[in-house]
Amino acid sequence: MQKRTHIDIYDTTLRDGSQGEGISFSVEDKVKIARRLDAFGVDYIEGGWPGSNPKDIDFFERMKSVKLNHAKLAAFGSTRRANRAAADEPMLRQLLDAETPVITFVGKSWDFQVTEALRLPLDENLAMIADTTQFLKSQGREVIYDAEHFFDGYKRSPDYSAQCLQAALDNGVDVIALCDTNGGTLPHDVARIVAEVIARFPQGRFAIHTHNDAECGVANSLAAVQVGCIQVQGTVNGLGERTGNANLTSIIPSLGLKLGYDLSCAGHMAELTDMANYVDEIANVPPKSSAAYVGRSAFAHKAGLHVDALRKNPETYEHLSPELVGNERRILVSELSGASTILEKVQKDNLNLQKSSPETKAILQQVAQLEHEGYSFEGAEASFELLVKKATGSYRRLFDLVGYRVIVEKRGDDPDAITEATLKLRVGDEEILTVAEGDGPVNALDSALRRALTQYYPELASIRLTDFKVRVISGREGTAAKVRTIVDSADAEDTWSTIGVSTNIIDASWHAVVDSLEYGLLRQSK
């Protein structure tokens, strides 16, 4: 598709995104994210409101010594207060002191907000927008007017909302951001209103700033661009107040890969998934597996029919190649799997399986039976690979369990129970007996197992357990219900997950831990 208009990407993760519930960036966090956004190629980074809190003041002070290679840093504030000269407004002085090349200021554009929230005459609000624009432009800054509540205002009183835009345009504003502040406008109204505004003000340059309260933040942004907006404002992963802001992580590939617009970050599109995960990690937010483009499940395929078609041509069930956005295709194994799923999963191990071979049929039957018993291999692909190795004769047994015993002792008022695991294993012709204490039965068993095996497999030192999860499969049996344990592990090169299922939580954990260590050792010995 031929490239069309250049669209600027304006990121407000550090301000609007930080207003999301449970999100709190330190100054160092904000600097790291700003550097990453700049490296990715966004055009504008809105760093915060320097007049609102000490953290943002510190951030802008730090950023004076940070060189951005592409992005322009923007400070955010509001219009001057009522009945005051803009030059005498302390908040505007703080914006200037941030020394950013761009200043974005918010002002009302809905008469209802002016009369009810500000309790001001409508003319005074227009004067506040005009004076603020004129003053900031006189200081040599690029100025963006954030027309708050614009769409709600335009639907109810279009003439007054247009007057607010005119007040900024008459005083030299560079860009006006049309804001769906309450997030309830739908795409057909956004497209209609933006088209009317651009026709009314052909000399203006307009941005779109939407929120996601009606789950239309991305759709509204795309609709606005298609009728003439030249800038999109949003946040990485849609972070933001209430239900979040427009999600740039979806908007960017939709604009660049789907609609053919020219983007400064186009050359970094394959870094999109890593960038999204980086921001989630700093924000201490679990990545959303179902997120479009960048989610772990975005290119995950479970049904056997789908996998069979994908093997023939990936375009049958993928709207674009996952590599374009730095993601990867995943084939999920479950009771819904067909022979094509099994074949796709074992390709990387170079195992010569045929669709109708006895081994393939046996694996399918075993997966179906184990999932009926409570196993789920979608989140435990390492256990599935061990299952395949055993079924195809490529599995190498590293040790045999003779027996284990776990004792948990509680003494008086001591808040911590003492856990001790005794373990007997056979490695070749030798039997090993070890005892280890741990923080709970799983840690004690893991410690005993490592103590027994390290002399035979010193590579164990590089394998570590990183997470442990337990889920009750069915609560109908109460405390006698089956439990499913998932153990996440890692070494210097990779991560993997394994599973165990039993009515006994310790036994379920044992199976998951054993699979984890065996998989790691066998993987290293390839």
For the chain, what is the radius of gyration of the CA atoms?
Answer: 29
Neighbours of 276 (CB within 10 A): 26
Please count the other Cβ atoms lying within 10 Å of the Cβ belonging to residue 55. Answer: 15
Query: If you average pLDDT over each of 22-36, 212-226, 352-366, 382-396, which comes out highest?
Result: 212-226
pLDDT score recorded for residue 310: 62
Instruction: Delimit the CATH 3.30.160.270 region(s) of the chain.
Output: 400-524
pLDDT tens for 78-98 read 999 998 999 999 999 999 999
Q: What DSSP state is assigned to residue 81?
A: P
Task: Please give the residue that has the higher pLDDT: either 365 or 389.
Answer: 389
Q: What residues does CATH 3.20.20.70 cover in the chain? A: 8-283
Residue 303 — pLDDT band, cuts 50, 70, 90? low
Q: How many CB atoms lie within 10 A of CB 516?
A: 29
pLDDT tens, position by position, 164-194: 999 999 999 999 999 999 999 999 999 999 9
The single residue listed with the structure tokens 């709970």 is 440
- CATH 3.40.50.150 describes domain 8-283: no
Which helix (H) or strand (E) is 105 found in, with range?
strand 102-108
In Å, the largest CA–CA distance within the chain is: 93
pLDDT digits (tens, 9 = 90+) for 245-271: 999 999 999 999 999 999 999 999 999
CA separation for the pair 448, 432 (Å, rounded): 10
What does the angle CA 126 – CA 130 – CA 135 come to, to the nearest 5 degrees? 150
Residue 359 has what pLDDT?
73
- 2/19 Cα distance (integer angstroms): 38
Between CA 378 and CA 513 the distance in angstroms is 17
Instruction: Tell me the C-alpha distance between 60 and 74, whole Å.
Output: 10
What does the pLDDT average to over 3-18?
91
pTM (two decimals)? 0.71
Is 332's pLDDT higher than 70?
no
pLDDT given at position 351: 52
Lowest mean pLDDT among 121-125, 232-236, 373-377, 407-411: 373-377
Of 75, 97, 62, the C-alpha closest to 15 is: 75
Stretch 485-506: mean pLDDT, rounded? 87
Name the one residue in this structure whose structure tokens are 């950023």: 63
Architecture of domain 400-524: 2-Layer Sandwich (3.30)
Which is more confidently placed, 222 or 462?
222
Q: How far apart are CA 28 and CA 292, in angstroms?
A: 28
- Say what the pLDDT of residue 341 is: 55
Order across the sheet with 464-472: list the strands: 464-472, 483-490, 495-502
Distance between CA atoms of 262 and 161, rounded to whole angstroms?
30
